[in-house]
Chain A
Amino acid sequence: MTDTSKRAEHWQRTKSLMIITLTIWFIFSFVVHWFAASLNSVTFFGWPLGFYMAAQGSEIVFVLTLFWFVKSQDKIDRDCGLAEED
């Protein structure tokens, strides 16, 4: 059993990361699309922006967020000495 303070720190940082990740997720899943009609008046490389965000923009953000999340969580695990052995 690793000492409790490391575990507490690990869980605290893990929770923060989860909250940041889910905030990004919430914005690009719901907030952006709620205003799709207004965004459509903006043109983005030819696309109406509201349509673009639903067809491609949000999805690109999701992929990038997930790779960033994986990297960040791994760093938290290592910093706290709770990562698995390679």
Chain B
Amino acid sequence: MANNSDGGSFIENLPKIYGMYTGGFLVFVLLMAILEQMGVGADTIGILFVAFTIVIYAGIGWLSRTMAVDAYYVAGRQVPALFNGMATAADWMSGASFVAMAGGIYFGGHGYLAFVVGWTGGYILVASLMAPYLRKFGCYTVPDFIGTRYGGNLPRFLGVVVLAVASFTYVTAQINATGTIAARALQIPFEVGVWFGLLGILLCSMLGGMRAVTWTQVAQYIVLIIAYLVPVFWMSNKQGFGLIPQFVYGDAVARITELEALHGLGTLDPVAGAKGGLKALTVPFAAAGDSAMASWKFVTLVACMMMGTASLPHILMRYFTTPSVKAARQSVAWSLMFIFLLYFTAPALATFTKLQILDPNLASGIIGKPIESVLALEWVQKWSAVDFLQIIDANSDGILQLNEFFMRGDIVVLATPEIAGLPYVISGLVAAGGMAAAMSTADGLLLAIANALSHDLYYKIIDPEAETKKRLLVARILLLAIGAAGAFVASLKLTSILGAVAWAFDFAASGLFFPIVLGIWWKRANRQGAIAGMAGGFLVGTWYLYMVRWGGMDPWIGIDHLRFGIIGMPVSLILMVVVSLMTPEPDAEIQAMVDEIRVPSGETVLGSSH
């Protein structure tokens, strides 16, 4: 891994290397289980899990250090499709996917599944409209494509601005998540945890850029998928839900609908007095809103998340690292496959957790039981102590009603092993998985921002004469500075994790989706059109977000702050088409370039070192 000359044999040995790594990780988990049996405390096991995995990632980052430009920016374009799929899946699945998604489904039911649909279907757009063509183009960053395709510094600069805003919104949420997990597992204050998380993130990316991030992300995917699936399979088998729970939870969904009626969901008065961030269950699980507005809200959220997926630069740039155009396409399919493994498990997990809490016939059921006995449960005590859970006996009858039980969505993933009575080693594994998910996404995002600033802003616009050594130094300084800025913002705790994550998709969709798609699929698209489309879509979208969120404006036909891409995207499309048609068509050279990226064979448009 240390230099380019042994690149070939390293690539050939990848299955063996990561096979051994996976085996090693499983041995580590077994070792922890043995330590637990020998009486080692839960806290120590949690610390060992998080510390051990971070040391491994940092080690991979160190081994992947490089001073070559194409290794730093695109991992030397030699990442095989399958491994790039794993790396993209880790890049993609953030702390929010890992920790918050199942909880979101638990509380939001069918309506929340719009995120699951949106965050998978977007890959169809990536594969059919974008990734293979951008790979053939041979760019280092997304603004690199925009700048070269449309010509001139202004489109490139606007691309950098949209990329930086979208990715920065996203990265603070990820650093926040690493901070939360590090703080809980290592028992340090949140503000310290944030900086500790950043340190881990930078160790993975600073020395080796994209090459280091690629190989740590593969390692992080393996940890996070094991950590997500093992507890679900274990729990399912222990509770008798079946061997592969994802395929058999239909009856559990039906049972929940019965139980919701039994417990009087929707008929109970809301109970006030819960601590911040804690919610009681109020939305039916399986029922979909039977109105055009409910359908509209579902599909608009799906649309924003999908177009956002296809415009987020930290995802697109992963497909610049494959050895060929064909491999780029294959790798999108593998990415979706690896993401699917987690995303189709999350609704199953939400269902089982809900059933365990609601069903009075199960030993774990707590709704409808005497509050005294519920408060005696160890997991209830533990999570109440950290303000993740609260019980308020509003009608003082000593029995726990549905509207008297409050919790944070994150519990669904974090506490399920305990609710189901699994050993603590599983909770440690889950913490390591959450950390891997948040770190891998933060790494990809930080690198996307730093690369755009160093390559597009510094090298292409400010100092085109800069030597390789200086370029890579600037890239690393920027990575450090942006990471520090992200950690600082995260430590201020400004937004909830999910609000910020959805915004990143809307920003990217508003400003970048049409300029990238039309740059490939419409030869007539020109510089003026791209400038109008990027600036117009991005500014109008941002204005709308500001007005609905802070400006006191009523959302227009249900388009709230999570969906502001629905406003930005059409503005971007219309401006881009109208302005392009009003101004002269691009010159012959640009049109020939577009023809060239549409065929897989032949040299890339931009050279391997540019």
Binary contact track A44-86/B, C-beta < 8 Å → 1, others 0:
1111101110111011101101110110011001000011110
**A36-B288, A65-B124 known; A83 vs B110 contact (CB < 8 Å):** no
> Which residues of A does B touch, CB under 8 Å?
2, 7, 10-11, 14, 17-18, 21-22, 24-25, 28-30, 33-40, 43-48, 50-52, 54-56, 58-60, 62-63, 65-67, 69-70, 73-74, 77, 82-85
The answer, yes or no, to whether B274 is at the interface (CB within 8 Å) is no
**A21-B128, A48-B286, A56-B344 known; A77 vs B326 contact (CB < 8 Å):** yes
Please tell me the number of chain B residues within 8 Å of chain A, measured between CB atoms: 57
Partner pick for B298 among A36, A43, A83, CB 8 A cutoff: A36
How far does the alpha carbon of A35 sit from the alpha carbon of B385 in the complex, in Å?
43
Contacts of B117 in A (CB 8 A): 29, 33, 54, 58-59
Partner pick for A33 among B248, B253, B287, B298, CB 8 A cutoff: B298
The answer, yes or no, to whether B24 is at the interface (CB within 8 Å) is no
Q: Are B110 and A54 in contact (CB under 8 A)?
A: yes
Contacts of B290 in A (CB 8 A): 37-38
The answer, yes or no, to whether B302 is at the interface (CB within 8 Å) is yes
Q: B136: nearest residue on chain A (CB-CB)? A: A84
**A29-B302, A47-B253, A58-B120 known; A70 vs B127 contact (CB < 8 Å):** yes
Q: Are A83 and B601 in contact (CB under 8 A)?
A: yes
Query: Distance in Å from the Cβ of B266 to the closest Cβ of chain A?
Result: 16
**A21-B124, A30-B299, A36-B110 known; A66 vs B332 contact (CB < 8 Å):** yes
**A54-B114, A56-B347 known; A33 vs B250 contact (CB < 8 Å):** no
Per CB-CB distance, the 8 closest pairs between chain A and chain B, nearest first, are: A46-B250, A36-B288, A54-B113, A37-B290, A47-B250, A55-B347, A46-B251, A66-B333
**A50-B110, A51-B110 known; A70 vs B330 contact (CB < 8 Å):** yes
Q: A4: nearest residue on chain B (CB-CB)? A: B595
How far does the alpha carbon of A77 sit from the alpha carbon of B118 in the complex, in Å?
29
Q: Are A40 and B340 in contact (CB under 8 A)?
A: no
How far does the alpha carbon of A30 sit from the alpha carbon of B132 in the complex, in Å?
25
Contacts of A34 in B (CB 8 A): 295, 298-299
Contacts of A45 in B (CB 8 A): 250
Query: Distance in Å from the Cβ of A19 to the closest Cβ of chain B?
Result: 9
25 contacts between A and B (CB under 8 A): A7-B595, A25-B121, A25-B124, A29-B118, A33-B117, A37-B288, A37-B291, A37-B295, A38-B290, A43-B254, A47-B253, A47-B254, A48-B257, A48-B287, A50-B288, A51-B113, A59-B121, A59-B344, A65-B124, A66-B123, A69-B127, A69-B329, A69-B333, A77-B600, A83-B326
How far does the alpha carbon of A56 sit from the alpha carbon of B248 in the complex, in Å?
12
How far does the alpha carbon of A35 sit from the alpha carbon of B132 in the complex, in Å?
34
Q: Are B286 and A40 in contact (CB under 8 A)?
A: yes
Query: Distance in Å from the Cβ of B1 to the closest Cβ of chain A?
Result: 25
Contacts of B598 in A (CB 8 A): 10-11, 14
